[in-house]
Amino acid sequence: MSIFYIFASALIALAGYFYIQLNRKAGGDYVTVSGGAHGKGSGHGSPTTPAGGSSPNSSTDNKEVLVLFGSQTGTAELFAKTLTREGAKMGVPIKICDVESYESFNLEYERLVILICATYGEGEPTDTMKDFHDWMFDDCRAVGEELANVKYTVFGLGDRQYKYFCEEGIVMDRRFDELGAKRIYGLSCGDSGGGQLEEQFDEWCKDLWPAVGRALNIKIKENTEEPVEPECRMKYWEEKEAPLPFPKTASVLEPTQRLPVWVPMMRNEELLKSVSDGNSTLAIDFNTSDTIISYQAGDHLGILPCNSDELVAEYLKVLNVSDEEAGRVFSLQDKKTLKNVFPSRVAPRTALKWYIDLAGVPKKSTLRAFAHCCTDAAQKEELLRILRVNPEAQNEFAKLCKKLRTMQGFLRHFDSAKVPLSFFLELMPRITPRYYSISSDILSTPNSVGTTIGIVKGGLCTSMLARMQIGDKVPVFVRKSTFHLPLRHKERPIIMVGPGTGVAPFIGFLERRRAWQQKGATLGKAILFFGCRRHAEDHIFEEYCTQALQDGVLSVLDTAYSRDQAYKIYVQHRVKERAAELWEMLSAGANVYVCGDAKFMAKDVDAELKRVVEVEGKMTPEAAAEFMKKMETEERYLKDVWSSTL
């Protein structure tokens, strides 16, 4: 009996664990995992996704407008929340749902769907939207009739610097139409690279509401500058010590974003040869011997950053939170659903440190809500005025934002604003993980993970990493990618393009090749294009690569120093110079890897590679494009690119 009992409780514990795993989301919403008791009263999901489990067939539900969001780093989620709040203020029956927890088979019963979704990877959906995307594109969908009773509109988020701008928004808009849904308002694509994303969204919203009113045949309230009603309240607990935001106990399961593992920093070294203006690129390694982290060179390390204690103290002051209150354990509850907003009960000091992005650029939607907390009428009017949607106001706001930089700056400037702590915690953007290409290999260093970090001035995560001392711990997890060496074809030639910090994963690749070499494998030719400003300043990993060359782990290292001569030389120029050699490798089935800045580099290299195929392969432009496309589908042309500045 007792053995059975133990067995059963173990099963229940495991089931509880997997329940948490299943409920994890990439957005800023959480499962409660604190207090040790997973089962008992642990709120799950987020108050922003109350529609998650409810049946949209009930008579009230399908009258509501459904705001669906697909978000990776929280921007689309924030927009969706703002939109829902605005809609409710205007008298629109409205609900919000993370596309990850939406039951797709209910789609045909929805009345009006507003989809807000970001594009990731190479024109792909976010992790949270993959299932919904596949469901929509399933061949069994009835084209032209399935969604005949549904009305919809789409706002896509993207970045023009990527090859497939806003691809997910564009294909979703088209697919709803194909399935018979009625578009009530045109698709719009926001460009997060241009610094005008929030303005573009505001513009889109302006005419959205009248269209929603017409579609639902309801009257839309005009005044939108009414105060925002708080949706959450703080509930205080008698616990003495605030638990940590992520459990520090070691787990037998692979760490995830929801349950990351704490690892100590074991190396933090400057890689730049000469440091000026505070520019810095660090080699940062974490000791993973006490964890079961597994990874491959080319995967990403997700790091959950926190704000500095000094910054937290400054915010506590601005928010007029006393020392005593800053230490009182609370949970933030959604008034309607009673669900917890944060993953654990914490003290305000811990919440500000680990959950709220205090260092980022303030969001206009948040400031609009805070404006109503100004006790001085003139200040309130002034703040609301510069937040309006017109070119002069937008100009003025941009200028002020440059000066004040963070929310703290705004709260000091508009000093009559008395923002209640719970309102602040409810509306401020959440901290999302930052990803870093892993620059080590598990075969050669099984007990550590290495990263190459370009320090960003004012950046949340990189500033934290730069501050950390050897032995300090951070919560991390691994996000698998497809950016890997051809593991079963060690003899296949590889072409690597990685200027700046983009060289990071290739250091891991070279480590892996070294391990293969030591085991006696025959390695294919490997060429690395590296670029930086000046040889004497920022040629990182030069010694490492030189050694790799000597050892035959790397066949060719070709460098482009952009500023060491009167004219600019970039990696794509080096690619061009080696056209014949590259074509020889490509026609022998080489893999191509591009890593680093999405801004110009990835596009320019892509164009240059296409030209190589065209000229050297004697192909028409169409045939060359086809050749490149085929390499992509065969996963022989892989990109790991990111925007270096937002």
Ligand X SMILES: Cc1cc2nc3c(=O)[nH]c(=O)nc-3n(C[C@H](O)[C@H](O)[C@H](O)COP(=O)(O)O)c2cc1C
Ligand Y SMILES: Cc1cc2nc3c(=O)[nH]c(=O)nc-3n(C[C@H](O)[C@H](O)[C@H](O)COP(=O)(O)OP(=O)(O)OC[C@H]3O[C@@H](n4cnc5c(N)ncnc54)[C@H](O)[C@@H]3O)c2cc1C
Please give the residue ranges that form the binding site for ligand Y (CB under 6 A).
300, 305, 359-361, 405-406, 434-437, 452-454, 456-462, 501, 504, 642, 645-646
Q: Which residue, 43 or 505, has its beta carbon nearer to ligand Y?
A: 505
Binds ligand NAG by CB under 6 A, chosen from 60, 217, 276, 645? 276
Binds 458, which of ligand NAG, ligand X, ligand Y, none (CB < 5 to 8 A, cut-off by type)?
ligand Y
Q: Amino acid letter at 380?
A: K
Least Å distance, CB 565 to ligand Y, is 27
Q: Which is nearer to ligand Y, 389 or 456 (CB)?
A: 456
Out of 224, 289, 416, 482, the only residue in the binding site for ligand NAG (CB under 6 A) is 289
Give 565-571's long-range contacts (Cβ < 8 A, gap of 24+).
Answer: 569/531, 570/499, 570/531, 570/601, 570/604, 571/497, 571/499, 571/529, 571/530, 571/531, 571/601, 571/605
What CA–CA distance (Å, rounded) separates 383 from 374?
9
| H runs (alpha helix) in 145-298 | 167-178, 197-216
Interaction partner, residue 289 (ligand Y, ligand X, ligand NAG, none; CB < 5-8 Å by kind): ligand NAG
- Considering the complex, state which of residue 261 and residue 431 has its C-beta at the smaller distance from ligand X: 431
Which of 66, 41, 70, 42 shows the shortest CA–CA distance to 55? 66
Six-digit token string for 473 = 């711990």
Binding site residues, ligand X, CB under 6 A: 71-77, 118-123, 126, 157-159, 162, 164-167, 192, 642
Would you count residue 290 as binding ligand NAG (CB under 6 A)? Answer: yes
| First and final C-alpha spacing in the chain | 60
User: Does residue 489 bind ligand NAG (CB under 6 A)?
Assistant: no
Position 295: which residue type?
A: Y
Cα(603)–Cα(539) distance, integer angstroms? 22
Nearer residue to ligand Y within complex by CB, 449 or 628? 449
Which residues, other chains included, contact 180 with Cβ-Cβ below 8 Å and sequence gap of 6+?
A: 142, 143, 144, 145, 146, 147, 148, 150
159 binds, among ligand X, ligand Y, ligand NAG, none (CB under 5 to 8 A by kind): ligand X
Q: Which is nearer to ligand NAG, 86 or 100 (CB)?
A: 100
Query: For ligand Y, which is the closer residue by CB, 141 or 267?
Result: 267
Contact partner at residue 320 from ligand NAG, ligand X, ligand Y, none, CB < 5 to 8 Å by partner kind? ligand NAG
Q: Which residue is nearest to ligand Y (CB)?
A: 459
Answer with the entry of ligand NAG, ligand Y, ligand X, none that 440 interacts with (C-beta below 5 to 8 A by kind): none
Closest distance to ligand NAG from the beta carbon of 247 (Å)? 18
Min CB(359)–ligand X separation in Å: 16
> Which CB, 185 or 642, lies closer to ligand Y?
642
**Residue 76 binds which of ligand NAG, ligand X, ligand Y, none (CB < 5-8 A, kind-dependent):** ligand X
| SS3 call for 628 | helix
375 binds, options ligand NAG, ligand X, ligand Y, none, Cβ within 5 to 8 A by partner type: none
Of residues 7, 9, 55, 229, which one binds ligand NAG by CB under 6 A? 55
Query: Any contact of residue 57 with ligand NAG (CB under 6 A)?
Result: yes
Query: What is d(CA 507, CA 548) in angstroms, rounded to the nearest whole number?
Result: 10
d(C-alpha 45, C-alpha 68), whole Å: 15
Report if residue 279 touches ligand NAG, rule: CB under 6 A: yes
Which residues ranging from 510 to 569 are in contact with ligand NAG (CB under 6 A)?
A: 533, 537-538
Binding residues for ligand NAG, total number by CB under 6 A: 16
Nearer to ligand X, 191 or 382 (CB): 191
Pairing mode of beta strands 330-334, 232-236: antiparallel
Given the complex with ligand Y, which of 25 and 363 has the nearer CB atom? 363
The alpha carbons of the chain give a radius of gyration, in whole angstroms, of 26
By a kind-dependent CB cut-off of 5 to 8 A, residue 436 interacts, out of ligand NAG, ligand Y, ligand X, none, with ligand Y
d(CA 358, CA 431): 9
Q: Which helix (H) or strand (E) holds 17?
A: helix 2-23
- Give yes or no for a contact between 440 and 511, defined as CB atoms under 8 angstroms apart: yes
Nearer to ligand Y among residue 169 and residue 305 (C-beta): 305
Q: Which residues contact 257 (CB under 8 A, 6 or more apart)?
A: 24, 26, 302, 304, 433, 477
Question: One symbol per residue from 394 to 433: x for binding ligand NAG (CB under 6 A), - otherwise; what is it?
Answer: ------------------------x---------------
CA–CA separation, 526 vs 517, rounded Å?
A: 13
Q: Please, what is the minimum distance in Å from the beta carbon of residue 77 to ligand X?
A: 6
* Cβ atoms of residues 260 and 304 within 8 Å: yes
Which residue's entry shows tokens 């970039």?
Answer: 570
Q: Give the residue with the Cβ less far from ligand X, 28 or 52.
A: 28
The Cα 28–Cα 453 span in angstroms is: 24
User: Which residue type occupies 419?
Assistant: V
Among residues 23, 149, 287, 444, the one that binds ligand NAG under rule CB under 6 A: 287
CB 558 within 8 A of CB 295: no
Binding site for ligand NAG (CB under 6 A): 55, 57, 106, 109, 266, 276-277, 279, 287, 289-290, 320, 418, 533, 537-538
